[in-house]
Chain A
Amino acid sequence: MRHIISLLMENEAGALSRVAGLFSARGYNIESLTVATTEDLTMSRMTIVTSGSDEVIEQIMKQLNKLIEVVAVVDLTDGEHLERELMLVKVIAKGDEREELKRIADIFRGRIVDVSDKTYTIELTGTGSKLDSFLNAIDRGLILETVRTGSSGIGRGDRILKL
């Protein structure tokens, strides 16, 4: 099953490689991994999307907790949560396609953030599956580049991950 794990860790050199190394050393999957500092500059927040049986996820949580620099870990999938990913897509936008692409971007609440005479760059946010749907909705042959950030997650309401 797919799980979204959120963790707080010391913002120190090498901390990211400890997490990445743990996943590769123990053969765990990483679908995506995002990391950036928080409002407290001594700490980084990481979101890892992974998959595995309940036993594997339990081990992942325990092994992450065991890393000295990891301050707190939570499996967001255990409860209500929000998940967002940002995507930038550069597409060929010529002739009739220009109007059509604008229309589809609007449907997905995307924004055109850069324009040239032959291209659009469209920005979209949403769950991973929403971004997938957008890519499926347009003509694949028009896509020049896609950049996705990987998912970031946060608990709903009172579910707070803080030191």
Chain B
Amino acid sequence: MELTGAEIAIRCLQEEGVEYVFGYPGGAVLFIYDALFNQEQVKHILVRHEQAAVHAADGYSRSTDKVGVALVTSGPGVTNAVTGIATAYMDSIPMVVISGQVPTSYIGEDAFQEVDTVGITRPCVKHNFLVKDVKDLAVTLKKAFYLAKSGRPGPVLVDIPKDVSNQKVEFSYPSTVNIRSYNPAKHGDVGQIKRAAQLLIEAKRPMIYAGGGVVLADAAKQLTELVRLLGAPCTNTLMGLGGYPSTDKQFVGMLGMHGTYEANMAMQNCDVLLAVGARFDDRVIGNVAHFGSVPRKIIHVDIDPATISKRVKVDVPIVGEVGHVLGDLLAVLHSSKQKPDAVTLQSWWKQIEEWRSRNSLAYKNSIELVKPQFVIEKLYEITHGEAFVTSDVGQHQMWAAQYYKFDKPRRWINSGGLGTMGFGLPAAMGVQLAHPDATVACVTGEGSIQMNIQELSTCKQFRLPIKVIALNNRYLGMVRQWQEFFHGNRYSESYMDALPDFVKLAEAYGHIGIRVDKPSDVEGALREALERKNDLVFLDFQTDPTENVFPMVPGGKGLSEVILAEDL
């Protein structure tokens, strides 16, 4: 049967089993919205800003294992979406973004709402396409979904000119697609896996450092089995939280700039380091030269060969799907007659426990001021660690990562690589749609929430009962913290003056707002919010404005050059 390009686009989404499309209509996508109108299978979530559409698709994807889909119009629709696309790209989130474009005959003429979409998005997508002929549309969309999900995942954009969406052609959707120039690795090299196993067995001070790749590859089970088998300590990156159960005794906490003392010290002092689905980025290992100053053997497992030896030279590179490689590594270890030496491991653990006893996440609670850490601890307690937690970017993000203990993957949803303020609320919308009965908490600050606060309207329209946990310290807290430490207490533009009354604002959008300014009210307010199963509740916690995030490895310093709260 002959279908229009617009109908084909929607049919392709149906074929891919897409449940939700997050988008915003406009001139260049009118035919596609018309095709959307005529069916019920693919549900459209109308956001209030295109950035939010992409973040929502992103949150949906991160909390499931599906490809998120966003639909935006040409020109400003696309440029608004760019921040969301770059966010997804940095964190390797599988996503397909469909954008409208001016008609093919207008391209290059500076037409109304024309922008070089493929050019603008090129550096922040895994791949992008401009479909100039309706005959290519179905296969291009098939390729887009395949590319987004396979190998190292990422966002793929398909730009569809308006005339293409209105031309007719016979529709058939390919069941598979082959791209001759694209063959991502699956299994790791057997020899390298054996070498890795041997190193791990013989290690005196083994350490396992796992990142977002474990979560993306759904390999938490294999990782957990491996860590237990080896008896080694395990740390997660900000992106990897939940990839290993945080409440397990072998877990030494998150590492990096605001990681625990024990995680960073173990990272620095281990003799064999197994890095899995992680990329040694600057916020994780600090100063490269300092990190490299101690001799240790490094095994690096990653799907992306370009990630290996990019910042840190490794001894055993293994390119492959994390789940497959860990599975093969486990098989080798199981069949090996040798076992890690229990006595050696014991003395390593003794050292780690000594570091752990510094209790680097300890903070002084107060009966007068609401401490942000206390709010997160209570949130964890009351939700039994079962909530999906999204966050924005800043101090609140670090506290959420430090004090909410994630035992399961895909529960912690944050913008790790790009550090996008305004991510939390729209991401929570995607998460809540994917998990309608789950508790979804958006931990945010008064700065970040205002970067996409218009989405409270979307939440009302689609009845998304998100719990907004705003840690309101009247400062751009992380900026203020750096200014306090490194810029002589000159708080240049980091004070949030003229803040709205968030309670009234929430009410204006048709939600419930609660202000909390006493520590004794924290628990009650959280409980009340969680009991309101069908309502979005905006909790405005007036927190201690002077609180800082500790531990802290200052930018450019090494992992052991850490500032602890007790030092000050």
User: Contact residues of A with B, CB < 8 Å?
Assistant: 9-10, 13-14, 17-18, 21, 25, 55, 58-59, 62-63, 65-66, 68-71, 163
Contacts and interface: CB of A to CB of B under 8 A. Distances in A.
Interface stretch (B118-126, B232-240, B246-254, B397-405): B118-126
Nearest to A26: B123
Contacts of B310: 59
Contact of B181 (A9, A17, A21, A58): A9
B181 A70 contact: yes
Interface residues of B, number: 18
B455 to A, nearest CB: 31
15 contacts: A14-B118, A14-B130, A21-B123, A25-B123, A55-B309, A55-B313, A58-B309, A59-B306, A63-B306, A65-B305, A66-B304, A66-B305, A68-B127, A68-B147, A163-B180
B94 to A, nearest CB: 15
A91 to B, nearest CB: 39
A12 to B, nearest CB: 9
A86 to B, nearest CB: 29
A13 B305 CA distance: 26
Contacts of B130: 13-14
A163 B147 CA distance: 21
B485 interface: no
A72 B127 CA distance: 17
Given A68-B182, A70-B181, A62 B305 contact: yes
Nearest to B181: A71
Contacts of A62: 305-306
Contacts of A13: 130
Nearest to B308: A62
A25 B181 CA distance: 22
A21 B120 CA distance: 11
B180 A17 contact: no
Interface string B96-138: 0000000000000000000000110011001100100000000
B122 A18 contact: yes
Interface of B: 118-119, 122-123, 126-127, 130, 147, 179-182, 304-306, 309-310, 313
A70 B309 CA distance: 21
Contacts of B127: 68
Nearest to A8: B181
Contact of B126 (A21, A63, A68): A68
Nearest to B309: A58
A58 to B, nearest CB: 7
B29 to A, nearest CB: 22
Contacts of A66: 304-306
A94 to B, nearest CB: 46
Contacts of B304: 66
Contacts of B119: 17
Given A65-B306, A66-B304, A163-B180, 5 more contacts: A14-B118, A17-B122, A21-B123, A68-B182, A69-B181
A68 B179 contact: yes
Contacts of B306: 59, 62-63, 65-66
Contacts of B309: 55, 58
B185 to A, nearest CB: 11
A71 to B, nearest CB: 4
Contacts of A10: 181
Given A62-B306, A66-B304, A21 B182 contact: no
Contacts of A21: 122-123
A29 to B, nearest CB: 18
A17 B123 CA distance: 10
B231 to A, nearest CB: 34
Contacts of A14: 118, 122, 130
Contact of A71 (B122, B126, B180, B305): B180
A21 B128 CA distance: 14
A18 B118 CA distance: 10
A117 B428 CA distance: 77
A9 B180 CA distance: 10
A135 B348 CA distance: 67
A65 B308 CA distance: 14
Nearest to B132: A13
Contacts of B181: 9-10, 68-71
B292 to A, nearest CB: 12
A6 to B, nearest CB: 15
B206 to A, nearest CB: 27
Contacts of A9: 181
Nearest to B305: A62
Nearest to B184: A66
B158 to A, nearest CB: 13
Contacts of A17: 119, 122
A59 B122 CA distance: 19
Contacts of B305: 62, 65-66
A63 to B, nearest CB: 5
Contacts of B179: 68
A13 B136 CA distance: 14
A117 B105 CA distance: 48
A54 B181 CA distance: 25
Nearest to A24: B123
Contacts of A71: 180-181
Contacts of A63: 306
A55 B310 CA distance: 8
Nearest to A62: B306
> What are the 10 tightest A-B residue pairs by CB atom distance, in nearest-first order?
A62-B306, A71-B181, A68-B127, A62-B305, A25-B123, A66-B306, A68-B182, A63-B306, A21-B122, A69-B181
